[in-house]
Amino acid sequence: MPRGTQSPTRFILAAWCALAAFAAPSLTAQSAPGANAATDGQTLTGIDVLEAQHFEALAGKRIGLITNQTGVDRKGRSTIFLLAHAPGVKLVAVFSPEHGLAGAQDTSVSSSVDSTTGLPIYSLYGDTKRPTDAMLSGVDVLVFDLQDAGVRFFTYIATMGYAMEAAAQHHIAFYVLDRPDPLGGERVEGPMLDSDRVSFTAYFPMPVIPGMTLGEMARMFNAENHIGCDLHVIAIRNWRRGEWFDQTGLAWISPSPNLRSFQAELIYPGLEILQNAGISVGRGTSTPFEQFGAPWIHAEQLVAELNRRSIPAVRFASARFTPVSGVHQGELCEGAHAEVIDRRSLDPMRLGLEIAATLRQLYPANFDAQKMMLLLGSQSTVDQLNRGEQPTAIMAGWKESLAPFMAMRAKYLLYP
């Protein structure tokens, strides 16, 4: 967006106002941090709880807020708006992650200054991915309020980790306004990250689906990575790990431009690992992460083989599409549309492996499983795929390496 046309914050507030129809009854204020802020069983995110407590934890502080379009309360009001108007609190800077403050960009994001409030809007997905000394000048507390996707390679996790490291270095308190794991918080799936693969898409050695909220991960990172920041998690109220996101009553707000629906979220972990191997996962179409394909695939052949495999909880149909952006932009792709028919039996990582194994079997000259490494993060898993081992056998081999992680993870869980 050209500077001087419309301020990013004004744009975001206008979008958030459109969510006002998703209204919840007024919250009952509770000052005790451990008190249940809801009286009717509503799921309340960290910002709802902080608001119900009259923002007491931040009183007298100068706040730097890391957020985007997903940072809203149950009434659809943005965390930016709430902190900017909270009594006794001074919002001095806003930080945006990948995709920018509006969550609409699929490229590098520039920092800017909001013409309405005069607040700097610092991009953490542009010239730097870490808050710099200059960005943190005059900040007493960093507040983090983002909805993630529940998978290791979603970059909001690394943004949080990097910001925690910067907070520790500058002796700044760090508050996570927690939100539910959209995949439910019980499933832990996928291979462990190889120890030498830590990166911006893999901040911490954990499986692809760690089954943790960002607040729980922050606790784990702070202790296990010896970050040592002054960490505070404003916990969710009235949420249990077994609840899917659409059972919380919270509005689904796309955490990234292409993750547009909860239906897509269900299979996102399994499909996304295919993209670097030359597979369009529907980016640049009306249904990203619900279909996949490539110019060299024959749809009927692929669908017949996938349905023959009897992959639990998913049914496939032929798909033909031409992406307007992303992998194979402007090329006619053939492939499959994946429909979840029983999410309780769904295993997104098995889905991804079964598709990869099928593509390798049918199109060995075109599909290179080694290129899945960027997001899969496990060389042994790729090697097994290339040897033609069955996905169920590969998954069985993950259990031994997952056991130590499960024991460590248990120490940092906040919700039953």
Going from N- to C-terminal start, the domains of the chain cover 8-251, 262-377
Query: Which tokens in the block code for residue 411?
Result: 């120490």
Report the SS3 class of residue 157. Answer: helix
Give the pLDDT confidence score for residue 114 in this predicted structure. 75
Give the pLDDT confidence score for residue 293 in this predicted structure. 98
Pick the closest to residue 62 from 153, 165, 170 (CA basis): 170
Fold annotation for 8-251: Rossmann fold (3.40.50)
Cβ distance 72 to 23 under 8 Å? no
Q: Which pLDDT tens digit goes with each residue over 254-297?
A: 999 999 999 999 999 999 999 999 999 999 999 999 999 999 99
Domain 262-377 top-level CATH class: alpha beta
CA angle (10 as vertex; 5, 15 as ends), nearest 5: 115
Q: Are 8-251 and 262-377 equal in CATH topology?
A: no
Measure Cα distances from 408 to 139, 220, 255, 369 in Å. 33, 8, 28, 30
User: pTM for the whole thing?
Assistant: 0.90
Give the pLDDT confidence score for residue 118 in this predicted structure. 82
Q: Which pLDDT tens digit goes with each residue over 90-114?
A: 999 999 999 999 999 999 999 998 7
